[in-house]
Structure 1
């Protein structure tokens, strides 16, 4: 094994690392596209509930996990760490869908991705002591990625494009001028007593007026990013036999259990606070519909794309480590931003598009720098 094997070992190591980056690119493509069905005309017309869409994702994750293991010929195992991982992923997934619906595909995924990079890299480098050439330079590479992702998120914002469009039309005497982002910022539903004061009250003390788009961004930041960014960490604490692809089944089972628990909690909440005399039938009817007849192709596609991204990200982490592998797949905003520009027209105006591409270039530079910093011990 050892005699004359130095060059071969180096070659195998390089090949493994190349495989890791190829899997990371696959994860980027899939993670950047899974939100497209959420923005489909059917989903928008039905105002699909985020937990419903997440349930489609969870269902496809459960189905495909067995399929992926069968294709790879992996042994089926189970570890409770999969349940812990599901506790991070499912709430983060619901928040991502809510952010996509209210803030847009590019910025919804972008804000979450930026903080997922920060969280997963911090776990990998500072907690698991993964090897890099220089921690300072590796942190600088992540900072470069975050700056690029932040710029991409900012120039993906419809208010930026709207502001520039309004400025140009104002010179022509066009309408809008001071309209600002009125077409893009939607207030919380007027019938929501938890947020808006009654019309006959002048004093709004004790109530919150906040825009849904802002709530979406905050959900992507705190729930998707800071909370969901740790979803791959439990795999590092699993027994060696359960790490890598075998972790898929544990993760899928854990995510399914967590999703069922969220539905149960929501049902109990409706029974207690939204019905008269704890009417269980009324509470069941108040649950959001799955609209299965119309939504199954979109929900299944969303879940399948995410599952492929998860499959790729696990292999990327296996080859490159938590800090580099999973962080790199979160450059999926490059893909979601392209969807936003060319398909959903979320970014308008050549100036905003140019600056988005400039920010994207900074993100790619950060990924390349991070690639250079990673090395085997």
Structure 2
């Protein structure tokens, strides 16, 4: 029964983690600090609801540290997506997240107890497939949604300019057959804003490196909670149910996001980048993430990090890739779609093998 509950929780994580950034992709979220703070507010609401369902099991300050780790990593999410797109960003930082979380659970890093699956060979094979999928994902060239909008705007402005130039030419030369027609020089200029918004290769490489760093922070978000549940001799009387730590974990997210926003507002001389149109989408993002993270706690308890991180760490990126292909049109072209299809196959296969490795000996 534990396996079924754990896998069901993984399914909830896949859907909500893979879709969490969709509401804010169409908003002008700027540097993302304000959006993150609104997300943390919604996350705190989900945490309090869970706290209430659990009959107020207590507050555990150490669990806040894991929330702080996640918030620091998440502060880079919006800038990353602006440069390499939602799918690419999620797939790269999820690869680092998956590897870090798996290693922590498998080898007992940071004081946690090692969780060895029934079949280490299958577990290693599944992880290898997931990592190969992550490497292939990094070879996919995507166009961020913002760039697609800029291209549409540019094409629209060029059409308007052609119409205006044609009208001007006709006014200057009512007789189309005369030589005067050649004297009118029609020039189409690329707007300065268009050049400014172009993402350079250097920025893309920086975003990829930042994605790896974010993944490292994401991969350690459960360490404090698992450390407490693994050492009842130290934390006497603490609950063994990981869901009991959700509110403390989520409060750490809200507190860290608030500190980051206040420091950011001071740095910007009380002129933070705030867009009212992002308010509701950001809150929805926070609700999605809060639900998914709560399910992640349940999955960890029933399956262990050795199983959950390769599944939840990578498969949501496949959901995000579907959003990028069919909705945002960030990934196009036969080559990119072929590589993406192979990468998703490796990732899904790896996730399935990892799930089997918990109980199946090989």
> Shorter-normalised TM-score: what interval?
0.7 to 0.9
Q: Secondary structure at the match of 1:346?
A: coil
- Give the distance between the partners of 1:228 and 1:62, measured in 2 at CA: 18
Q: Which residue of 2 aligns with 1:234?
A: 224
- Pick aligned residue for 2:329 from 345, 352, 357: 345
- Pick aligned residue for 1:221 from 212, 219, 228: 212
Q: Secondary structure at the match of 2:239?
A: helix
Choose between structure 1 and 2 for higher RCO, CA contacts under 8 A separated by at least 6 residues: 2
Matched, 1:155 2:140: yes
Could you say which structure has the larger radius of gyration?
2
The residue correspondences of 1:358-377 to structure 2 (distance < 5 A) are 358-375=342-359
Q: Which residue of 1 aligns with 2:155?
A: none
Q: Secondary structure at the match of 1:154?
A: coil
Deviation at 1:221, TM superposition (A): 0.9
Q: Secondary structure at the match of 1:48?
A: coil
- CA shift in 2, pair 1:156/1:263, >3 Å: same
The CA deviation string for residues 298-335 of structure 1, in whole angstroms up to 9 with x for no partner, is: 11111111111111111111111122123311210110
Q: Which residue of 2 aligns with 1:58?
A: 40
- Give the distance between the partners of 2:292 and 2:101, measured in 1 at CA: 16
* Contact 2:119–2:360, Cα closer than 8 Å, also in 1: no
- Pick aligned residue for 1:37 from 1, 6, 23: 23
- Give the distance between the partners of 1:89 and 1:235, measured in 2 at CA: 13
Moved beyond 4 Å, runs of 4+:
182-185, 267-270
* Contact 2:139–2:339, Cα closer than 8 Å, also in 1: no
- Pick aligned residue for 1:301 from 284, 292, 307: 284
Structure 1 unaligned segments of length 5 or more: list them: 1-14, 163-181, 188-209, 271-282
Please report the TM-score for the alignment, with normalisation by the length of structure 2: 0.76
Deviation at 1:48, TM superposition (A): 2.7
Matched, 1:91 2:89: no
Q: Which residue of 1 aligns with 2:303?
A: 320
- CA shift in 2, pair 1:74/1:16, >3 Å: farther
Q: Which residue of 1 aligns with 2:151?
A: none
The residue correspondences of 1:211-290 to structure 2 (distance < 5 A) are 211-222=202-213, 224-238=214-228, 239=235, 240-241=238-239, 243-270=241-268, 283-284=269-270, 286-289=271-274
Q: Secondary structure at the match of 1:155?
A: coil
* Contact 1:21–1:316, Cα closer than 8 Å, also in 2: yes
* Contact 2:119–2:357, Cα closer than 8 Å, also in 1: yes
